[in-house]
Structure 1
Amino acid sequence: MSGKFEISASSNGKFLFNLKARNGQVILTSQLFDSLHHAVEAAQALQQDNKLADRIHRKVSTAGEPYFSIHGDGDKVIARSQMYSSNTAMEKGIDSVLEHAPQALLVDTTAE
C-alpha cells in the first residue's frame, strides 16, 4: 500500500489535504484552499514535482522545534509538517514526503 493524499473539507467550508504515510501517519498538511479543485490541483502538483526537494524549507518554531514547509511559485507556503523533537526526526519526515508524495493515491473524503 502506498501513501495517500487525503482531501477533506474544513469546518469553515474550505479544503485541505494531508499526505499520509503507508502507516496512516500524517506527514504533511496543506494550507486551506477556497475550492476542492484547488486542493486537488495542489496535491497533484506535489505528486508530479520532480524538484520537490528544492521547494522544502527547513524552519524552527518560536518554541525551538524544527519543522519544514513546502513552497510553491512566488514562495507561497503550500503545506507544512508537524513540529519535530529534533532535526534528525525532521529530516526523516522530509525523506518520508519525498518517498510518498510521487506515488501517493489521491483520496477525496469530502463526500463521506
Structure 2
Amino acid sequence: MSGWYELRKNSSGTWRLRLKAADARTLLDSGVYQDRATAEDAMALLRENCVREERFVRRIDSGGKNYFKLRAANQDVIVRSHLYDSEIALQHAIETIMRVGTTQQVKEA
C-alpha cells in the first residue's frame, strides 16, 4: 500500500502535516507547526519511529475508544492517533501506518 505525506501551509502561516493512505484517507494528523522546517523534522521522526511497533503505546480514552501515542526513542510523544472503536481497528491502523509511514513521497497542498 502506498501513501504520502501531505504538507500544507495554513492561512495563518503555520504548517500542518498529515500521513495519507493510497485512497487519500488521513492516517495521522500530526498537528500544527510554526514553520516548514519543524514540520519536516516531525515527518522525519514519524518515518524513523513508525516501523517500531513497540513505539506505539496503546490507550483507551474515558469514553472507551482505543487510540495510540507514537513515541520517539526518548519517550517524547510524536503524535496521538484518531479514536478507534475496537482493538482490532486500532491494530489495523498501526499496521497500515507501519507500512505507509516510511514513504518518501510528499505532496504540498
TM-score (norm 1): 0.82
Q: Using a 3 Å threshold, how does the CA distance of structure 1 residues 68 and 105 change in structure 2: closer, same or farther?
A: same
Match runs of 1:40-51 below 5 Å: 40-49=40-49
Task: State yes or no: 1:23 paired with 2:23.
Answer: yes
Structure 1 unaligned blocks of 5 or more: none
The farther-off stretch of 81-90 and 40-49 is: 40-49
Aligned residue in 2 for 1:70: 70
The offset of 1:73, in angstroms, is: 4.8
CA RMSD of aligned residues (A): 2.1
Structure 2 unaligned blocks of 5 or more: none
Which has the larger helix fraction? 1
Identity %: 25
Indicate if the aligned counterparts of 1:8 and 1:16 stay in contact, CA closer than 8 A. yes
SS in 2 for 1:32: strand
Aligned residue in 1 for 2:97: 97
Aligned residue in 2 for 1:86: 86
Indicate if the aligned counterparts of 1:31 and 1:77 stay in contact, CA closer than 8 A. no
Structure 1 stretches of 4+ with a deviation exceeding 4 A read: none
